[in-house]
């Protein structure tokens, strides 16, 4: 489907417009009728009467939506005010590929909800890389998801913060797949990070398992993220991985005020649960290592799991993020005593007046929008 644009042939031009027109300018006034399935990234819109794309296009707001012209790509984009701090979305997967309704800013959990071969939570890796079992390659600019074909995934629940056009969760605060050469000593990212989505070995094609801050990586393809080393974020690699190229996706430190960030939180669990509200943290707690849950079992053994979203049931290897109760819950055969990872505390008021692009498939067919276009 597509939108329908109808120019208005009746236009009383004043002298200023006549002067503009005499220099070869074009003016078009009309109505845009929206369709029943908005595509993320915007609706294609053309102006056959113009030799070039319009220099100016004003589209009226309607129905709680605002509209902007993306002249570079020749598209019209629809926005709402930021409403969704955290989304848990079920994605239909066909031929091991699916697409989120919104472009993601930060992925918290990817849970298999239907598959022929696997169950449980998954880890995120960069787009273009080949996932192994229980991994999902995430295309941040498009919201595309790619799973391992033999996992047989047909449905997945993804818990994430959507990318907004403005506000803290906008593209200027997100760094996607920064390259870093692993060294014998820790290497700093180009920017200090508030949260790290993943560290991926782009040379050998492996996601790096993360271990607690203050320790040395215990084996190849393991790493330590020191998110708050003075004013830097540093990645410490195992000696075996020195010289390989890491890909790191992360949120910049300046996205949130320092008081809302804990760079190295060691959470002592009570029966494998940590309730933030009980411990006097009243804002929503977000883990700072993406899908990766890092901690210690019996105070001596490092463990790493993949987080599950709030509607999942905790179990062995399935730690759950419960944003309603503001608690993180585990249920391991070997008791996990401590979680060791960065934390961000979020306040929903940070989304006030932030713009969120309308999601894929939203029905806007009831809208008929007046517009004015100027150009040559």
Evaluate whether 273 touches 320 at the Cβ level (below 8 Å).
no
For 145-200, what is each residue's pLDDT tens digit? 999 999 999 999 999 999 998 888 999 999 999 999 999 999 999 999 999 999 99
Q: Please determine, for residue 215, whether its predicted confidence score (pLDDT) is greater than 60.
A: yes
Determine the Cα–Cα distance for residues 270 and 338; give it in Å rounded to an integer: 9
Encode the chain in three state secondary structure.
Answer: CCCEEEECCCCCCCHHHHHHHHCCCEEEEEEEECCCCCCCCCEECCCCCCCCCCCEEEECCECCEEEEEECCCCEEEEEEECCCCCEEEEEECECCEEECCCCEEEEEEEEEEEECCCCCEEEEEECCCCCCCCEEEEECCCCEEEECHHHCEEEEEEEEEECECCCCCEHHHEEEEEEEECCCCCEECCCCEEEEEEEEECCCCEECEEECCCCCCCCCCEEEEEEEECCEEEEEECHHHCCCEEEEEEEEHHHCCHHHEEEEEEEECECCEEECCCCCCCCEEEECCCCEEEEEECCCEEEEEECECCCCCCECCECEEECCCCEEECCCCCCEEEEEEEEEEECHHHHCCCEEECCCCCCCCCCEEEEEEEEC
Strand order in the sheet with 232-237: 187-188, 232-237, 222-229, 209-211
For 10-48, what is each residue's pLDDT tens digit? 444 455 566 666 677 888 899 999 999 999 889 999 998
- At residue 351 the predicted structure's pLDDT band, cuts being 50, 70 and 90, is low
The stretch 264-287 carries a mean pLDDT of 90
Task: Please report the domains of the chain, with CATH numbers, ordered by start residue.
Answer: 4-82+358-375 (2.60.40)
Residue 63 has, within 13 A of its CA and on its CB side, a CA count of 15
Determine the Cα–Cα distance for residues 204 and 223; give it in Å rounded to an integer: 14
Range of lowest pLDDT (59-68, 93-102, 348-357):
348-357
pLDDT mean across residues, the chain: 90
For 245-255, what is each residue's pLDDT tens digit? 999 999 999 99
Determine the Cα–Cα distance for residues 295 and 210; give it in Å rounded to an integer: 9
Percent of the residues in the chain that have a pLDDT greater than 90, as a whole number? 66
Rg for the chain, CA atoms, rounded: 24
Cα–Cα distance list, 275 to 65, 156, 267, 268, 319 (Å): 37, 27, 10, 10, 13
Q: Please determine, for residue 374, whether its predicted confidence score (pLDDT) is greater than 50.
A: yes
For 358-370, what is each residue's pLDDT tens digit? 888 889 999 999 9
Going by C-beta distance under 8 Å and a sequence separation of 6 or more, which residues neighbour residue 271?
A: none
What's the confidence (pLDDT) of residue 355? 81
Distance from CA of residue 7 to its chain's centroid?
38
Of the candidates 105, 87, 139, 143, the one whose C-alpha atom is nearest the C-alpha of residue 252 is 105
For 83-122, what is each residue's pLDDT tens digit? 668 899 999 999 999 999 999 999 999 999 999 999 989 9
Evaluate whether 303 touches 297 at the Cβ level (below 8 Å).
yes
Region at 73 (left for phi over 0; alpha for psi -120 to 50; beta for the rest): alpha
What's the confidence (pLDDT) of residue 24? 73
The stretch 227-252 carries a mean pLDDT of 96
- At residue 209 the predicted structure's pLDDT band, cuts being 50, 70 and 90, is very high
Percent of the residues in the chain that have a pLDDT greater than 70, as a whole number? 93
């Amino acid at each position: 489907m597509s939108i329908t644009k109808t120019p208005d042939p009746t236009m009383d031009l004043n002298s200023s417009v006549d002067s503009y027109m005499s220099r070869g300018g074009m003016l078009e006034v009309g109505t845009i009728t929206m369709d029943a399935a908005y595509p993320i990234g915007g609706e294609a819109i053309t102006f056959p009467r113009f030799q070039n794309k319009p220099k100016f296009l004003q589209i009226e707001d309607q129905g709680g939506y605002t509209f902007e012209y993306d002249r570079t790509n020749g598209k019209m984009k629809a926005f709402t005010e930021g409403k969704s701090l955290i989304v848990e979305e079920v994605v239909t997967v066909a031929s091991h590929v699916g697409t989120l309704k919104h472009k993601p800013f930060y992925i918290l959990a990817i849970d298999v909800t239907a598959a022929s071969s696997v169950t449980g939570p998954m880890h995120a890796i960069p787009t273009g890389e080949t996932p192994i079992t229980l991994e999902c390659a995430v295309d941040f600019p498009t919201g595309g998801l790619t799973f391992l074909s033999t996992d047989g995934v047909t449905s997945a629940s993804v818990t994430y913060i959507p990318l907004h056009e403005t506000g803290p969760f906008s593209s200027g605060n997100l760094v996607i797949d920064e390259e870093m050469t692993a060294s014998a000593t820790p290497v700093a990212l180009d920017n200090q990070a508030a949260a790290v989505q993943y560290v991926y070995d782009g040379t050998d094609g492996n996601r790096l398992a993360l271990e607690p801050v203050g320790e040395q990586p215990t084996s190849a393809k393991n790493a330590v993220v020191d998110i708050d080393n003075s004013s830097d974020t540093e990645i410490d690699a195992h000696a075996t991985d020195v010289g390989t190229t890491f890909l790191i996706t992360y949120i910049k430190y300046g996205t949130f005020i320092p008081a809302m960030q804990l760079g190295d939180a060691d959470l002592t669990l009570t029966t494998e649960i940590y309730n933030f509200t009980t411990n006097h943290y009243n804002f929503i707690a977000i883990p700072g290592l993406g899908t990766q849950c890092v901690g210690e079992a019996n105070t001596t053994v490092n463990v790493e799991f993949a987080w599950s979203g709030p509607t999942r049931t905790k179990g062995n290897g399935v730690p759950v993020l419960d944003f309603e109760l503001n608690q993180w819950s585990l249920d391991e055969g070997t008791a996990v005593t401590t979680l060791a990872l960065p934390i961000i505390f979020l306040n929903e008021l940070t989304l006030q007046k932030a713009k969120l692009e309308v999601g894929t498939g939203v029905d806007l067919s009831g809208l008929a929008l007046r517009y004015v276009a100027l150009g040559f």
